[in-house]
Amino acid sequence: MNQMVPRGPILIVEDDKKTSDLLSIYIEREGFRAITAYSGHRALELAAQHEPILVILDVLLPDLDGWDICQKIRASSLVPILMLSGLGEAHERIKGLTLGADDYVAKPFSPREVVERVKAILRRTRIEPPTNGILSCGSLALDRDKRKVTLAGRRVPLTRSEYRLLEVMMSAPGRIFLRDELLDHLYPRGNAVVDRVIDVHIGNLRHKIEEDPSKPRYILTARGLGYQFTDLDRRPGS
């Protein structure tokens, strides 16, 4: 019996045709449909036209770089993004993940590993049934059914990781979440990610939802431990 495959193609953005063709072969062996782009501008065109279920995105491209493309895609879509790069330093991984990528693979890589990462991301980001609930605190509201966040009635554009972190913390106000716990919520398959990624995500979240990010009202720091969402009953101001 054939497994049910998600609708929509996987977009492979890679300027090296040999690498692109190899990834396409492995992706299609798993029952997915692959479409390819060899430049950043073409990638954005295909992403808009075909609404892919996932994007495999190389960082180094002849026109736009992968960071720019990731940001442009994230401005209008929550499609999962797997970044590929020969730049394997920790700060490069952090940059990709905090710009909205869902995972990061350093070159050289095994095509089989990339496929397994793709399948893991799709399992992790699969749209879940509605949870029938709105989490709110003051003028901040998170609608789980529509997967959107509003502040004083205006929509706040969040990356998938930012949304997930906010949802987890708002679900348990007052509870202290260790950085490792928050990492597990974002990357449950134990991918090697440094915990500074959480600090960067939290910083980005604060700039989007706090009136004064230096004196947060909603997302509080538990010194030496991690973070917590303000207790709705006591509503601290710092």
Burial of 30 (0-12, 13-18, 19+ CB in 10 A): middle
The whole-model pTM stands at 0.61
Same domain (yes/no): 116, 14: yes
Starting at the edge strand that comes first in sequence, how are the strands of the sheet with 219-222 ordered? 177-178, 226-229, 219-222
pLDDT score recorded for residue 147: 84
- Range with the poorest average pLDDT among 118-122, 189-193, 200-204: 189-193
Q: What is the mean pLDDT of residues 96-114?
A: 84
**54 in a structural domain:** yes
Can you give the CATH number for the domain in which 56 is found? 3.40.50.2300
**Which phi and psi (to 5°) does residue 146 adopt?**
-95, -5
Same domain (yes/no): 117, 140: no
Can you give the CATH number for the domain in which 139 is found? 1.10.10.10
Residue 103's domain comprises 10-124
Give residue 153's pLDDT band: very low, low, confident or very high (50, 70, 90): very high
Give residue 188's pLDDT band: very low, low, confident or very high (50, 70, 90): low
Percent of the chain with pLDDT strictly greater than 90: 40
Same domain (yes/no): 105, 174: no
Distance CA 10, CA 147 (A): 23
pLDDT score recorded for residue 52: 93
**68 in a structural domain:** yes
Q: What is the mean pLDDT of residues 199-214?
A: 93
Highest mean pLDDT among 83-87, 109-113, 123-127: 109-113
Last residue of a domain, one of 94, 124, 154: 124
Closest CA to 195 of 97, 72, 66: 97
Same domain (yes/no): 33, 110: yes
Last residue of a domain, one of 124, 145, 166: 124
pLDDT of 209 strictly over 70: yes
**3 in a structural domain:** no
Last residue of a domain, one of 124, 142, 167: 124
Same domain (yes/no): 14, 103: yes
pLDDT of 191 strictly over 70: no
Question: pLDDT (tens digit, 9 = 90+) per residue, 22-64?
Answer: 999 999 988 899 999 999 999 999 999 998 999 999 988 989 8
Give residue 160's pLDDT band: very low, low, confident or very high (50, 70, 90): confident
**5 in a structural domain:** no
Residues with Cβ within 8 Å of 192's Cβ and at least 6 positions away in sequence, in order, are none
pLDDT score recorded for residue 235: 44
Closest CA to 186 of 157, 219, 163: 163
pLDDT of 87 strictly over 80: no
Output the average pLDDT for the chain: 84
Number of domains forming the structure of the chain: 2
- Range with the poorest average pLDDT among 57-66, 84-93, 115-124: 84-93
